[in-house]
Structure 1
Amino acid sequence: MGDHSGDWATHITRAELSCTLPRRWAHTQGVADRAVEVSQVLNQDASLLVAGATLHDIGYAPRLAATGFHPLEGARFLRDEHGADERLVRLVANHSFALLEAEERGLRKQLATEFPLLEEPLLVDALVYCDMTTTPDGDRTTARNRVAEIVSRYGDDSVVGRFIRRAAPEILASVERVEAALAAQPR
Structure 2
Amino acid sequence: MAAAWLHDIGYAPSVRRTGFHPLDGAEFVRSAGFGKLVASLVAFHTGAHVEASERGLQGLSEFGDPPSDVLDALTFCDLTTGPDGSPVSADDRLSDVLTRYAPEDPVHRAVDAGREELLAAVQRVRDWL
Instruction: Judge same fold: TM > 0.5, yes or no.
Output: yes
Structure 1: gaps (5+ residues): 1-49, 183-187
Question: Is the partner of 2:45 in helix, strand or coil?
Answer: coil
2:28 pairs with 1:77:
yes
CA displacement at 1:65 relative to structure 2: 1.5
Partner of 2:11: 60
Determine the C-alpha separation between the residues in 1 that align with 2:82 and 2:90.
10
CA displacement at 1:84 relative to structure 2: 1.6
For 1:1-187, list aligned pairs within 5 A: 50-80=1-31, 82-107=32-57, 109-112=58-61, 114-118=62-66, 120-182=67-129
Partner of 1:9: none
Amino acid at match of 1:79: R
Determine the C-alpha separation between the residues in 2 that align with 1:60 and 1:94.
15
After superposition, what is the alpha-carbon deviation per residue over 1:42-68, rounded to whole angstroms, capped at 9, x for unaligned? Answer: xxxxxxxx1110000000001122211
Amino acid at match of 1:75: A
Amino acid at match of 1:110: G
Determine the C-alpha separation between the residues in 2 that align with 1:90 and 1:139.
26
| Larger Rg belongs to | 1
Q: CA RMSD in A?
A: 1.0
Moved over 2 A (4+): none
TM-score normalised according to structure 1 size:
0.67
Determine the C-alpha separation between the residues in 2 that align with 1:157 and 1:148.
15
Determine the C-alpha separation between the residues in 2 that align with 1:121 and 1:86.
15
